[in-house]
Amino acid sequence: MKIIRTKDYQDMSRKAANIISAQMILKDDSVLGLATGSTPIGIYDQLVDWYKKGDLDFSKITTVNLDEYKGLPKENDQSYWYFMNKNLFSRVNIRPDYHFLPDGTNLDSDNECERYEKLIDSLGGIDLQLLGLGRNGHIGFNEPCDSFPQDVHVVDLTESTIEANKRFFASADDVPKQAYTMGVGTILRAKAILLVVSGKDKAEALNAVVNGPITPQVPGSVLRLHPNVIIVADEDALSEME
């Protein structure tokens, strides 16, 4: 694991965007694995900025996202598709049919999980997977559990996640109860992994990922088994490092 220390969120975003753009320049038809959440927003802004300046080209790039809520259509402003479209896809010259997320409207979980895993395989795998880190060490929607889930699978959202999401929906019934996510195996099959971490509230999780035991109780710790992981983290996120 290579750890790149940055001053703050902005510095983290710029350095991580540099790594992604290097990948895109070296291989213009790269398959990029992408993430949602607050951490990558600055990275996407930076990539869009370089695209607008003519320094980056998405015309041969393919993207696959980590996860999506089951039951939410693209148009729902809480869907991850909506997030990606707003923050990246609609702002660059990526081809419409070349950015993929699990299909939240496919309610047949077995079918959707198999379809998405096969889709990733058919693209020749992921060249560079961008990951954020949960405060409990989760990656994608792989929450602490007793064994590492391998392939794309459906997860039940915890009561606390459902409760926290309630405010974004018209009624409690509309809050998604499940999500599709790449498994730990899917993530580890990526050729390279870029984990971005910012803020004091992630410091304990990051220390556990880097220095603790490799355990499904800290899903991110499994990244230590991958030969090509770069962590870009700001000082706050590195503040608990042993």
Task: Among 8, 29, 38, 93, indicate the residue that binds ligand F6R (CB under 6 A).
Answer: 38
Q: Tell which one of 47, 101, 139, 203 touches ligand F6R (CB under 6 A).
A: 139
d(CA 126, CA 228): 13
Nearest CA-CA partner of 233 in 204, 205, 206: 206
37 sits near ligand F6R (criterion: CB under 6 A) = yes
Among 102, 104, 132, 220, binds ligand F6R (CB under 6 A): 132
Q: Are strands 31-34 and 99-100 parallel, antiparallel or unpaired?
A: unpaired
Among 47, 66, 203, 210, binds ligand F6R (CB under 6 A): 66
Give 159's contacts (C-beta < 8 A, 6+ positions apart): none
223: tokens are 């990244």
Q: Is the dihedral of CA 115, 32, 91, 5 positive or negative?
A: positive
Among the options 67, 112, 117, 127, which is catalytic? 67
Find the residue with minimal CB distance to ligand F6R.
132
Give the tokens for residue 12.
């983290």
Neighbouring CB atoms inside 10 A of 122's CB total: 8
H helix or E strand, kind and range, residue 78: none
Q: Which of 18, 85, 106, 136 is catalytic?
A: 136
Contacts (Cβ under 8 Å, ≥6 apart) of 118: none
211 is catalytic: no
Shortest Cβ 53–ligand F6R spacing (Å) = 26
- Phi then psi dihedrals of residue 146, to 5 deg: -90, -20
- Our finding on whether 153 is near ligand F6R (CB under 6 A) is no
Verify binding: residue 36, ligand F6R, rule CB under 6 A. Answer: yes
Shortest Å, Cβ 92 to ligand F6R: 19
Please, what is the minimum distance in Å from the beta carbon of residue 32 to ligand F6R?
13
Tell me whether residue 226 is one of the annotated catalytic residues.
Answer: no
Q: Does the footprint of ligand F6R cover residue 193 (CB under 6 A)?
A: no
236 is catalytic: no
In the complex, which residues of this chain contact ligand F6R (CB under 6 A)?
35-39, 66-67, 132-134, 138-141
Give the active site residues: 67, 136, 138, 143
